Amino acid sequence: MPKKTAKDTNNASTALVVQEQDTPKNNENSILLWASGNIIGESLADVDEVKNRLPVILGKILALCWINEEFQTLFLAEPSACLEKLGIKTPEDVIVSAQTTNTKRPSIIVFEKRQGSNFKLRLFSLSLTLMASK
């Protein structure tokens, strides 16, 4: 059965991320190129834009982490650098932190570092949650 693509107009996908081809392995550039097929680069000018638009972007990134372990490793190592390489620019006072739990599922916390303060304000967090229903 042929794989559906984002360009398939007869059966347009409603998936959060569309996997058009086999995921690449072991090459940072090819992994980032693969991920950029689902992430549209943009520049977020201020904290309000970060609060409004970054959760959707990071939700897609969590989904990509779920289906590609190499991408997850790359993202967890340096979340801000990975976002930058994907074309996502955030204000300097925004800090993106990523970690995994004992289940190895990644979670992301986004902070704002206020000028003149040593403290960070938590803006939002995201994590993958599996739910079963009957």
Is 70 exceeded by the pLDDT of residue 21?
Answer: no
Nearest to 107 by CA among 79, 87, 132, 85: 79
Task: Look up residue 54 and give its amino acid.
Answer: L
With both helix axes pointing from N to C terminus, report the angle between 69-77 and 28-36 in degrees, rounded to the nearest 10. 100
Is 50 exceeded by the pLDDT of residue 132?
Answer: yes
Residue 58 CB contacts under 8 Å (≥ 6 apart), including other chains: 96, 108, 110, 126
* pLDDT tens, residue by residue, 68-100: 989 999 999 999 999 999 999 999 999 999 988
* pLDDT tens, residue by residue, 93-121: 999 999 887 777 889 999 999 888 889 99
